[in-house]
Structure 1
Amino acid sequence: MTAVLVLLLAVAALTVHTWVNATRWLRRPADGPVEVAEPVAVLLPLRDEADRVEPCLRALLAQRGVPRLRIVVLDDGSTDGTADVVRAVAGDDERLTLLTGVAPPPGWLGKPYACWQLASRTDPAATVLAFVDADVVLSPYAVAAAVAELRAARATLLSPYPKILVRTVADRLVQPLLQWLWLTFLPLRAMERSPRPSLAAAGGQFLVVDRAGYLRAGGHAAVADKVLEDIELARAVKRSGGRIALADGSRLAACRMYETWPQLRDGYAKSLSAIFGHPVAAAVVVALLLLLYPAPPLIALAALLAGAPAVAALAALAYLVGVAGRVVSARATGGRWWPDALTHPVSVVVLGWLTLRSYHLRKRHRLSWRGRPVS
């Protein structure tokens, strides 16, 4: 009974923290008409994105509120006609420039080098750089609103996290955990105020940075060999004396990260071992997550069968409080909560399996992404 009560209190504390983050500290940029006067460069790295880049490009070309907007696209060794799609969509729009990338040199991973090429070859007059991924579709005032929030927060780097679109069962089980994890375990207020690089979060799908602060931090050259270049860039900004901020960007951007289960599985395999670091740390974190979320419903069922209704009630309450945390996270970030939140314990189990797989593949040097090895 005592152990189950402690479990309930721990889950309740985390759910309260999720609620405080979501209602008090999570920034919410305006999604209405906003105008910024300073020059902004939107940077779009592409590698074999011919089948899904068109909506992203059309949304970028339809941006409002940024009179001095430039869009710079890098074709990073695509073999599927991505550059042709860019030319067809852009037409003769002089705001868009298409660059041809070169293969990353030794010591660089593909995504950081593509971003660094973009930042290095962009008009130096641009005072703000907005990095966007090909699977992101922005609302008409998204760039203007993000830049305005960057300046209002007095930050060097702002990460407006997009709304993650879910369609398949795998999507619904795994993808909502992205927002839930940082809302539940990351103290947002402390993250903004503390200079500690370890207190950092960012999402590379849509990232807005002050150019001077970006260069002072070393830009993507400072994270050349990092799988999670977005989070590592945020840490580099902090190390250079800059500030970072995280925002709910669900009204500014939507992102369909993976189309199939193999893509989702391999995408998480690439990232999870980099997130958790040492295998022992990963094992501890996964064990705690399994104890806090999948264990309560199992305990409730076992207690009912054993004729211990009081224990079953406490364990069932712990399960429901954990579900409530998922509901809070989903509602705060534009996600779907019904009935997906009810399967939160299953989501955590799948996350544990994906983490184990990530370390297994890393140990055997079999991690890769888009045809390039990830070391």
Structure 2
Amino acid sequence: MSAIAWIAMGSLAAWGWLLLGQGFFWRTDQRLPSPPRHARVEPEAWPRVAVVVPARDEAEVLPMSLPSLLSQDYPGEAEILLVDDGSTDGTGKLAEELAQRYGGLPLTVTSPGEPEPGWTGKLWALHHGIDLARTRGPAAAAPGTPGPEYDGGPRAEEPGTPATDSPEGRRPAGPCRPEFLLLTDADIAHEPDSLRRLVEAALACELDLVSQMARLRVASVWERLVVPAFVYFFAQLYPFRWINRRHRPRATAAAGGCVLLRTGTAERARVPESIRQAVIDDVSLARAVRRAGGRIWLGLAERVDSVRPYPHLSDLWRMVSRSAYAQLRHNPLVLAGTVVGLAVVYLVPPAALAVGLFGGDAAAGWAGGIAWAVMAGTYLPMLRYYRQPLWLAPTLPLTALLYLFMTVDSAVQHYRGRGAAWKGRTYARPEAAPDR
């Protein structure tokens, strides 16, 4: 056989392994666990939850996301802590106006100032929000009621303020640590029962961390081409089934847009302090929780959506390239291996099929064609999940080529001192997911 035929056979063997031996990553059936409806028993007292939202220059998406948090129908005590991380577009003021307009859960807007040395911006904001949630009591003000020291905006009262007489605002005064923390990004919109179902899953399945991969927006041509593949590649790298095993899990990850975390577990794992330099903060968080003995679940969301638009290729390019080289731990050898692997697994099959059709190499053509067919077949469930036309499945090699270029560009930007740039901040040599 020719060299291209041998390489195509290697690609076909790789796809045989990916199909059957990589945790069935291509299936999309890992959804939020919950007991059967006939067996559901509501807890006598729903645990208190603090929703922590880090936000930096999010005025564009906040009107589409924050009202969904304010309107949660959670039956227990819950409050929202929006951490305005140095925004210049009026994010904090807008959040207060939205809460005044929509009412619902109590909202506190706070700002931690610029990150201390050694912290990435998001983790600095989470640190501030989590610390505030752990050291103060439940919000005493009724939903939509401004605090006394503010001219407007429904910020929570200080600890020790007597509870109001309204049923919605009747909460005990004094410090009371929340049992759960919901860490959710400012671009994530939740259905009204999202928080209830997350807590229900954590209680019913005895989970310390419940994370859902929010359904990203798919509207523009580039979003259709790139976004489903982004989640597909993530699941290939971190198969959800492996993560969700109770015993001897073979992978650990989370999706940072929606994470429900037990407060006690967060304290044992020393998060976010122990991962303060991580750019890929969700994977780092999951590893820290796992090391602390916590049980983790990760799956695809049905009622949690990202509203952030990525209308142009450049928007998606920045999203991927800012952390791609960090995922490879800034290692040139790992980068080289990744480039070769992407080429053999995703680019060789269509190339070999073309050689077979137009160059008369039957062995290369057959091997390449079958490998491409398996590749496209594994992509179909993700396209169905994103409600996209199935004819996009054969375009996966083109998308993989784009991701290859994005990864190389991520390395180039790193060595130019512009790695992990995000909203005016650049982390020249950040850690991907610290081991300790």
The TM-score, its normalising length taken from structure 1, stands at: 0.91
Which amino acid in 1 is paired with 2:358? Answer: L
Counterpart contact for 1:326–1:337, Cα < 8 Å: no
Q: Where do 5+ consecutive residues of structure 1 fail to align?
A: none
TM superposition shift of 1:240: 1.6
Counterpart contact for 2:356–2:362, Cα < 8 Å: yes
Which amino acid in 2 is paired with 1:12? Answer: G
TM superposition shift of 1:17: 4.8
Q: Which residue of 1 aligns with 2:115?
A: 104
Farther-moved stretch of structure 1 (208-217 vs 238-247): 238-247
TM superposition shift of 1:31: 12
Q: Which residue of 1 aligns with 2:124?
A: 113
Counterpart contact for 1:197–1:236, Cα < 8 Å: no
Counterpart contact for 1:128–1:209, Cα < 8 Å: yes
Change (3 A) 1:173 1:18: farther
Change (3 A) 1:109 1:24: closer
Q: Which residue of 1 aligns with 2:346?
A: 293
Q: Which residue of 1 aligns with 2:434?
A: none
Structure 1 position 46 matched with structure 2 position 38: no
Show the 5 A alignment for 1:296-335.
Answer: 296-331=349-384, 333-334=385-386
Counterpart contact for 1:66–1:144, Cα < 8 Å: yes
Show the 5 A alignment for 1:216-365.
Answer: 216-249=268-301, 251-259=302-310, 260-277=312-329, 278-331=331-384, 333-334=385-386, 336-365=388-417
Q: 1:145 pairs with 178, 183, 197, which one? A: 197
Identity %: 27
TM superposition shift of 1:309: 3.8
- How far apart, CA to CA, are the structure 1 residues paired with 2:250 and 2:327? 12
More helix by share: 1
Q: Which residue of 2 aligns with 1:130?
A: 182
Structure 1 position 374 matched with structure 2 position 385: no
TM superposition shift of 1:276: 1.6
- How far apart, CA to CA, are the structure 2 residues paired with 1:238 and 1:335? 33
- How far apart, CA to CA, are the structure 2 residues paired with 1:24 and 1:220? 30
TM superposition shift of 1:268: 1.6
SS at match of 2:259: strand
Q: 2:20 pairs with 16, 20, 31, which one? A: 16
TM superposition shift of 1:27: 3.8
Counterpart contact for 1:31–1:142, Cα < 8 Å: no
Structure 1 position 74 matched with structure 2 position 83: yes
Change (3 A) 1:176 1:211: same
- How far apart, CA to CA, are the structure 2 residues paired with 1:255 and 1:308? 46
Change (3 A) 1:62 1:186: same
SS at match of 2:243: helix
Counterpart contact for 1:71–1:96, Cα < 8 Å: yes
Which amino acid in 2 is paired with 1:98? Answer: V
Cα deviation, 1:264-317, whole Å, max 9, x if unaligned, reads 222222110111212211221231122111211111111111223453233112
Cα deviation, 1:14-69, whole Å, max 9, x if unaligned, reads 13356834659724346999966111111111111111111111101111233312
SS at match of 1:254: strand
Counterpart contact for 1:197–1:235, Cα < 8 Å: no
Q: Where do 5+ consecutive residues of structure 2 fail to align?
A: 137-175, 429-436
SS at match of 2:177: coil
- How far apart, CA to CA, are the structure 1 residues paired with 2:75 and 2:241? 29
Change (3 A) 1:289 1:114: same
Counterpart contact for 1:227–1:274, Cα < 8 Å: yes
Which amino acid in 2 is paired with 1:299? Answer: A
- How far apart, CA to CA, are the structure 2 residues paired with 1:167 and 1:149? 31
Larger radius of gyration: 2
- How far apart, CA to CA, are the structure 1 residues paired with 2:70 and 2:348? 49
TM superposition shift of 1:236: 0.9
- How far apart, CA to CA, are the structure 2 residues paired with 1:73 and 1:320? 47
- How far apart, CA to CA, are the structure 2 residues paired with 1:195 and 1:79? 46
Q: Which residue of 2 aligns with 1:191?
A: 243
Counterpart contact for 1:72–1:97, Cα < 8 Å: yes
SS at match of 1:71: strand
RMSD: 2.6
TM superposition shift of 1:324: 0.9
Cα deviation, 1:310-329, whole Å, max 9, x if unaligned, reads 53233112111101111123
Change (3 A) 1:94 1:24: closer
- How far apart, CA to CA, are the structure 1 residues paired with 2:345 and 2:188? 33
Structure 1 position 203 matched with structure 2 position 212: no
- Count of residues paired in the alignment: 373
- How far apart, CA to CA, are the structure 2 residues paired with 1:177 and 1:317? 20
Which amino acid in 2 is paired with 1:69? Answer: A
Counterpart contact for 2:207–2:295, Cα < 8 Å: yes
